[in-house]
Structures are given as structure tokens and as C-alpha cells.
């Protein structure tokens, strides 16, 4: 057993020195565009925090760190399940692949439920985008990400339907890799968002 911290990559695409991007190339341009938007958001948040440190520290303390941490674990676990789904389809195990994809959807649903409760707990006491600068960024950033989780789940659900129809196999699984790439982007963004908005002070 190779016990180094590496993952063997797709040998069928590894004939030359350079591999192709996994999935459809178009999704990667979409991913790069999305990451650019989130990067701008993060940098503007950091600059605004610099100008209103007391306010940001004061209201950051009102956030539920537990729900943020649990949501991070849910998204990382969803990403792990998606990786397992890709590994399954490469082994031509379609049923197993579908099970992993359903498991990742369950993690995504858990994320949405917790985040919805977080939004509800804020909105129910009159907090909204106009309350102050911190809440403007907290609500807009996390809600924008929330929408991406929903889109990621829709894409995974569509892939499950295609998988059930027998569209994917060890030889042809571009659709699953495309969905996986998008889902990992959603996870990647949250990995920065959680400490930036909930923890760093």
C-alpha cells in the first residue's frame, strides 16, 4: 500500500506529461469567474473591516461559530463524498457512485438547513442588510455562497438522474467530473469564508 499523502490520478488521462483538467473545460471558465467574484468580495470585506475594526469585532461576536464550524465539516464531507463518487465511476461502479452522490446531497441539504436557521435567527430580530456594514457583508457574502450551494446541489442531482439512465461509465464520466469540480469550488470558497467572517478578529 502506498501510504504517502497523495492521490493517484486518472491514468487514462495521464499518457503524456500534462493532464487535462477534469470535467468539461467550460465549467472551469465558470469556476474561474466565480472565484474572481468571491476574491473581490473577500478583499473588499477585509478593507472594510480595516476601516471599522471595532464594529466588525463587536458584531462578529454575535455569529454562531458552532453552526459555521459544523457547516464547514458538512461541506468538506460533501466534497469527500463527491471524490468517492468520481472514484466509483472510474471503477465502473455506477450504483456506488450514485450512493456517494446522494450522500453528498444530504450533506449539502444539512448545510442549507443550518444556514437557513442562521439567517432566520438574524432576520427574526430585525437584522438585515441595512443594519450595519458588518451585517451587510455577512448576509450578502454568505447568502451569495448559499445560492452557489443550491446550484451545486442542482447540478449533482442532474448528474444522478443521468447516472441512473446509464449515461456514465468508467470510460465516459465527464459529466460527473464537471459536477465534482463545481462542488469543490463551492467548498473552496467556504474554507476561506468561515475563518474570515466568523473567526478572525
Partner 1 sequence: MSRLFNTTGIWIIMIILTIFTYAMGKLGYSGTAPVLLLLLTVLIKSTFIIRDFMGLRGVSLLWRSIMYGWLWIVVISIAVTYLMSTH
The residue within the footprint of partner 1, chosen from 12, 58, 62, 69 (CB under 8 A), is 69
* Binding of partner 1 by 164 (CB under 8 A): no
Residue from 12, 35, 121, 128 touching partner 1 (CB under 8 A): that is 35
Distance spanning both ends of the chain, measured CA to CA: 43
Alpha-carbon Rg for the chain in angstroms: 19
135 touches partner 1 (CB under 8 A): no
**Residues between 73 and 112 that touch partner 1 (CB under 8 A):** 73, 76-77, 79-80, 82-84, 86-87
* CA-to-CA separations, 133 to 67, 83, 101, 139, 171, in angstroms, rounded: 22, 38, 38, 10, 51
Alpha helices by DSSP H, listed for 91-132, are 94-123
Q: How far apart are CA 183 and CA 79, in angstroms?
A: 7
Cβ nearer to partner 1, comparing 128 with 172: 172
Dist CA 97 CA 85 (whole Å):
4
Within 10 A of 78 (CB to CB), how many other CB atoms are there?
28
As measured in angstroms, the least distance from the Cβ of 126 to partner 1 is 25
Contact footprint for partner 1 (CB under 8 A): 1-10, 14, 18-22, 28, 32, 35-36, 39, 42-43, 46-47, 49-50, 53, 65-66, 68-69, 72-73, 76-77, 79-80, 82-84, 86-87, 177, 180-181, 184-185, 187-188, 191-192, 194-196, 198-201
Amino acid at each position: 500500500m502506498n501510504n504517502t499523502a497523495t492521490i493517484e490520478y486518472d491514468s487514462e488521462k495521464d499518457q503524456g506529461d500534462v493532464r487535462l483538467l477534469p470535467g468539461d473545460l467550460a465549467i472551469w471558465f465558470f469556476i474561474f469567474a466565480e472565484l474572481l467574484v468571491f476574491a473581490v468580495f473577500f478583499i473588499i470585506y477585509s478593507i472594510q473591516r480595516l476601516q471599522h475594526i471595532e464594529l466588525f469585532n463587536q458584531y462578529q461576536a454575535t455569529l454562531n461559530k458552532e453552526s459555521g464550524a459544523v457547516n464547514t465539516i458538512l461541506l468538506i464531507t460533501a466534497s469527500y463524498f463527491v471524490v468517492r463518487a468520481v472514484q466509483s465511476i472510474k471503477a465502473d461502479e455506477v450504483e456506488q457512485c450514485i450512493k456517494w452522490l446522494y450522500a453528498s446531497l444530504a450533506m449539502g441539504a444539512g448545510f442549507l438547513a443550518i444556514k437557513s436557521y442562521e439567517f432566520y435567527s438574524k432576520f427574526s430580530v430585525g437584522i438585515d442588510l441595512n443594519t450595519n456594514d458588518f451585517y451587510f457583508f455577512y448576509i450578502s457574502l454568505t447568502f451569495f455562497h448559499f445560492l452557489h450551494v443550491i446550484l451545486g446541489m442542482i447540478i449533482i442531482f442532474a448528474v444522478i438522474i443521468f447516472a441512473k439512465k446509464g449515461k456514465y461509465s468508467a470510460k465516459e464520466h465527464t459529466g460527473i467530473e464537471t459536477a465534482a469540480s463545481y462542488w469543490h469550488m463551492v467548498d473552496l470558497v467556504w474554507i476561506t469564508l468561515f475563518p474570515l467572517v466568523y473567526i478572525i478578529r
